[in-house]
């Protein structure tokens, strides 16, 4: 992330399992632990996409935030596409009143508004490095996903962890997905290191994501926080985590890449 220092807020979402159903999108929030510790993360006591109970069921379509300029697309009747988002506090929605307003949920809102039927599975964990995401990968892949979106590296950059380790961890995560879920499409989200780490580190860090995508065949998105990082009104008081508006802008930044994947996946799924 750019122009950001320090650690995230302390706190916990506790054991949250939310499922929101609308015209075409379902959202499952997995339990997340907030903080910036680098130790092993506690595992949720529910499986991906298998909530222990359904709470706060919402029906109807969620409107896009004001100013959204997402193009209208054709409606389709393909089976719901299961999209697993693996990520950090940015994905988990740290600090938001409703974690479903984090960027994965906003991607779901956009998809729903355009007629793409998807099931968002949010597996964000605050404070997690790429090494932590790698440790969780086998557990997360116990259930089947059609698309796996990987957002990791932000905490590596904040801590100045070796770029070579980030590259190795990302490649191993992608390959685990490809081995465990060979039919799934893998999407890697571009992240950037804060400028205070120095230009050499920042340049090397930024290049990792394209290198990983080329080495593994994963799809690469633009920088998640383009137009958000360093913009005060787009971020919470900590200057690190997006507001609802910032999360919506982040979702729009990566939507074109995710939409292209959904177009391909939903063409191969049987019609209802």
Which residues are catalytically annotated? 89, 238, 241
Minimal CA–CA distance to 2: which of 242, 234, 251, 228?
228
Q: State how far the Cα of 38 lies from the Cα of 88, in Å rounded to an integer.
A: 12
Q: State how far the Cα of 13 lies from the Cα of 94, in Å rounded to an integer.
A: 8
The Cα-based distances of 233 to 1, 2, 10, 242, 246 in angstroms read: 16, 15, 21, 9, 8
Tokens coding 14: 């506790």
**Tokens 């600090």 correspond to what residue?**
95
200: Cβ contacts below 8 Å, ≥ 6 apart? none
Helix (H) or strand (E) holding 27, with range, is: strand 25-29
């Amino acid at each position: 992330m750019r122009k950001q220092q320090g650690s995230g807020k302390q706190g916990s979402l506790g054991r949250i399992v939310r499922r929101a159903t609308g015209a075409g999108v379902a959202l499952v929030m997995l339990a997340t632990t907030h903080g910036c510790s680098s130790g092993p993360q506690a595992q949720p006591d529910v499986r991906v996409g298998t909530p222990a109970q359904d709470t706060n069921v919402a029906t109807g379509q969620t409107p896009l935030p004001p100013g959204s300029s997402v193009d209208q697309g054709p409606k389709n009747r393909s089976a719901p596409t299961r999209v697993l988002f693996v990520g950090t506090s940015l994905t988990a929605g740290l600090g938001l009143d409703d974690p479903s307003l984090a960027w994965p949920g906003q991607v779901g809102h956009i998809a729903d508004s355009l007629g793409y039927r998807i099931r968002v599975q949010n597996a964000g964990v605050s404070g997690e490095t790429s090494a932590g995401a790698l440790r969780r990968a086998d557990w997360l892949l116990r259930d089947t996903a059609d698309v796996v979106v990987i957002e990791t590296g932000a905490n590596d950059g904040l801590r100045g962890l070796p770029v070579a380790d980030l590259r190795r961890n990302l490649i191993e995560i992608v390959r685990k997905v490809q081995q465990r879920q060979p039919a799934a499409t893998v999407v890697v989200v571009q992240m950037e290191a804060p400028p205070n780490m120095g230009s050499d580190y920042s340049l090397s860090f930024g290049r990792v994501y394209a290198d990983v995508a080329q080495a593994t065949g994963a799809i690469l998105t633009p920088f998640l926080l383009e137009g958000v990082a360093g913009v005060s009104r787009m971020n919470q008081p900590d200057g690190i985590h997006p507001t609802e508006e910032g999360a919506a802008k982040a979702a729009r930044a990566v939507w074109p890449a995710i939409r292209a994947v959904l177009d391909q996946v939903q063409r191969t799924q049987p019609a209802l």
